[in-house]
Structure 1
Amino acid sequence: MSLFTTDRVLVPIDFSDESFQTQAETLDFVQDPTQLHIIHVLPHLNPAEPGMAWGTIDDQTRKENVLKHLHSRLPNAEQEGVTFHVAVGDPSSEIIDYAKAQNITLIVISSHGFSGLKRFLLGSVAERIVRHAPCPVLVRRH
């Protein structure tokens, strides 16, 4: 018997080595790649950014570029049936909304382990997800 269910497991990726390590360990735990969902959340663009002002970049282009980069970092994941999703907005809100929409049963997230002033100024996405997620959250600290 397992403490956590392995149906529809969500792993947020922020392109840090820790998040990719968390993804790899979660895939080993789940053992069925079709049950693994990977999400990356892009911040909103500032309208004053040169790409926005010149009309050369938009959210759709950014999402496509992130998906290409994810597929290059995880080349076998797509063939194995892993679900990729890229959202734009506040990371914790987007992750929680995706978990609700996809009926996710477990979120596995890496924590960067900030403390003190750095944590106060940067906030903690993992902490907000733990507090508001509709399912159990496993925080992997490095």
Structure 2
Amino acid sequence: MFKKILVAIDGSEQSLKAVDSALELAQKVDSEIMFLEVVPPIPAFGTYKKALEHTIHERDEKMIAEARETIANSAKKFDELHIPYKSKVVIGDPAEQICLIAEEEHISLIIMGTLGKTGITRFLMGSVSSKVVAHAHCSVLLTR
């Protein structure tokens, strides 16, 4: 049924609920789990791109380290129950990367929270979960 589950996390309370749902489902159907956190890029164009290159690289490294820590914290319950998982951190548009990686990895279910970022960030970026539901090749379970 759901042999491969991708759990999209971002450290928000909603994504932690997605982790709990994945844990419950993995125990019932013996699924392979993949944790994915996508770090949004900093948009820089033209002459500013070269000037900001070092700053962007430092920010990306910091965000990737934080994402790995978030995944490690989220996966503790899986470790305790000896449920195997793999993890990945990428930089890019969150909805686009979630759908792309789900397809590349032959994922049968994506689990993610309905809310991540809030306020103006959500308004400007649009709803990641809405985009994933609209474009994913597989089933999507949204947690609240």
Q: TM-score range by the shorter chain?
A: 0.7 to 0.9
Q: 1:27 to 1:62 in 2, by over 3 A?
A: same
CA distance in 1, matches of 2:125, 2:114: 13
8 Å CA contact retained: 2:6, 2:111: yes
1:8 aligned to 2:11? no
In the TM superposition, what is the alpha-carbon distance from 1:135 to its structure 2 partner? 0.6
Q: Deviations over 1:76-130 (max 9, x none)?
A: 535632111111000000000100110000111210299xx98654411111111
CA distance in 2, matches of 1:51, 1:34: 42
8 Å CA contact retained: 1:37, 1:85: yes
Aligned-CA RMSD value: 3.4
* 1:37 aligned residue: 34
Q: 1:133 to 1:46 in 2, by over 3 A?
A: closer
8 Å CA contact retained: 1:44, 1:89: yes
| Aligned partner letter, 1:111 | T
Matched residue SS, 1:96: helix
In the TM superposition, what is the alpha-carbon distance from 1:30 to its structure 2 partner? 1.9
| Aligned partner letter, 2:114 | S
Mean CA deviation greater in 83-92 or 51-60 = 51-60
* 2:75 aligned residue: 74
Percent of residue pairs bearing the same amino acid type: 24
- Tell me the TM-score normalized by structure 2: 0.74
| Aligned partner letter, 2:71 | L
Q: Which has the higher contact order (CA 8 A, sep 6+)?
A: 2
| Aligned partner letter, 1:71 | A
* 2:127 aligned residue: 124
| Aligned partner letter, 1:72 | N
Q: 1:106 to 1:94 in 2, by over 3 A?
A: same
**Larger helix share, 1 or 2:** 2
- Tell me the TM-score normalized by structure 1: 0.75
Matched residue SS, 2:76: coil
Structure 1: runs of 5 or more not aligned: none
Structure 2: runs of 5 or more not aligned: none
